[in-house]
Amino acid sequence: MARLVLKFGGTSVADIDRIRNVARHVKREVDAGHDVAVVVSAMSGKTNELVGWCREASAIHDAREYDTVVASGEQVTAGLLAIVLQKLGVNARSWMGWQIPLRTDGSHGAARIDAIDGTEIIRRFGEGQVAVIAGFQGLAPDNRIATLGRGGSDTSAVAVAAALQADRCDIYTDVDGVYTTDPRIEPKARRMDRISFEEMLEMASLGAKVLQVRSVELAMVHKVRTFVRSSFEDPDAPGMGDFDNPPGTLICDEDEIVEQQVVTGIAYAKDEAQISLRRVADRPGVAGAIFGPLADAGVNVDMIVQNISEDGSHTDMTFTVPASDLDKAASIIAAAKEDMGFDVVQSESGLTKVSVIGIGMRSHAGVAATAFKALAGRGINIRAITTSEIKISILIDGEFSELAVRTLHSVYGLDKARP
């Protein structure tokens, strides 16, 4: 049979009753004859509580001790799930990241995975044992626990799936798949049966909250077929145990998608801020002088638009940053005004980036024109535009966010059922 990695997020393991429900999902796959490893998050809200305790103990604290504290949430969940599985008659054993071992770099609090040795877990599959793994954590070069940053359990699960050469990594969450856009904004949003790694990576990075971006990157690099499904479905409902076509959304290589739609989905990110530098000297190195210090400070610059003056001596440089980074970015720019060589800096927050995504754009013309015309028809002004092979991102005033999402979702026919 197949080898599966199942990942359950915080809301799926929020209390003992939900852990029992998770155990039934796991047992269903075990009873079907599959080799199963499970990766779990901390109970919902527990990580925030642990982080709060660290800050209460000391506003400035050792990152290694912080990791020791916050990693304990996943340890509790792994042990509890193993206990419940054992009560159901499933041979299960909990694993901490250091026991596998899952090795990371030394960036405590935001570590990246270097290597995973799945030899012992695979050997125990031969004994019929289920591995219940604490996500979000690994072993740093200093032999101390290191955590992977927020959303790290998704990354753990995909990495474990790659190391175990799993047939699939099932991400169980509080939604039943990936939708063409946010159903809270557009009730006609549809759950997709399949989406390519590239499209999912764009949707995750542009505002969709279903999966953590690093986990999608890892899945794409290692070709880990990833399935998003709901943990709140009845584990024994018809179709839940169907290996080939369970309910949810498969994230896979685009070669597995028979009919590629021109546009797959609409993503959005609120709370964007725009910064404009006026009359910047147009000379070699000026872009580096502007964006280098921002990058060094960890400010994520996104959309960049440059307008050169008619005589070619000056340029206006406009770019976006997360609204939460606006004050930091403004102070960095003010401090480096002499090196950057601009006359005036202007900024504005409360903007939204709406993105149209689809691998079918590579072979179809007029996709951008359709978006611009549709938004104009709704009286929505476009502040900036960026494009790539499979996406168009448009910056608009925040008050038009929902209208823009619904308009674009409709104009590309995403609200219509596929045959």
> Binding site: what residues are annotated?
7-10, 47, 74, 173-174, 179, 184, 209-210
Asked if residue 180 lies in contact with residue 119, where contact means CB atoms within 8 angstroms, the answer is no
R_g of the chain, CA atoms, integer Å:
24
Residue numbers belonging to the annotated binding site for substrate: 47, 74
Reading the block at residue 132, the tokens are 């219940």
CB crowding 105-133: b at 16 or more within 10 Å, else e:
eeebeebbbeebebeebbebbeeebbbbb
Question: Which residues face 321 on adjacent strands?
Answer: 273
Which is nearest to 152 in space by CA: 41, 12, 64? 41
Residue numbers belonging to the annotated binding site for ATP: 7-10, 173-174, 179, 184, 209-210
Reading the block at residue 52, the tokens are 């709060």
Residue 173's Cβ-count burial label (10 Å; 0-12, 13-18, 19+) is buried
Q: For residues 311 and 22, what is the distance between their CA atoms, to the nearest angstrom?
A: 66
Specify the amino acid at residue 204. A
Q: HEC string of 211-271?
A: CCHHHHHHHHHHCCCEEEEECCCCCCCCCCCCCCCCCCEEEECHHHCCCCCCCCEEEEEEE
